[in-house]
Amino acid sequence: MSKIRELLFYKDYFREFYGNQRPKVQKKILWTLKVIEDHDRVPEIYFKHMEGTNGLYEIRVQSGSDIFRIFCFFDINSLVVVGNGFQKKTQKTPSNEIEKALRIKNEYYEEKKKFNKP
């Protein structure tokens, strides 16, 4: 089965988050990422656009009663750029986590602009 989307793990944001998780949670995260890569229509329970943001998405992972979110965004075509993650402990996503994700997104595009100058 060929991939529908390609994941790009930008800098160490995701790796740091992932490395701090229990093995059971890591396994669920990898499973969820595979769903996003391989399925044309990803159920909203795993992948959802963040309301009120300019193109920010959240990868949604649940392991038992623990809930985790990993922010990402699309670049050209089907490239999904994966940024920071956190454990969700409240109903509402903390604004500092969204702000961090938006900073990472801006950083990515600024860097990309520098490398793509003629």
Tell me the average pLDDT across 23-43: 96
The pTM of the full predicted model, rounded to 2 decimals, is 0.93
Cβ pair 60, 32 in contact under 8 A: yes
pLDDT band at 118 (very low <50, low <70, confident <90, very high): low
Instruction: Annotate 85-116 with b (16+ C-beta within 10 A) or e (fewer).
Output: bbebeeeebeeebbebbbebbeebeeeeeeee
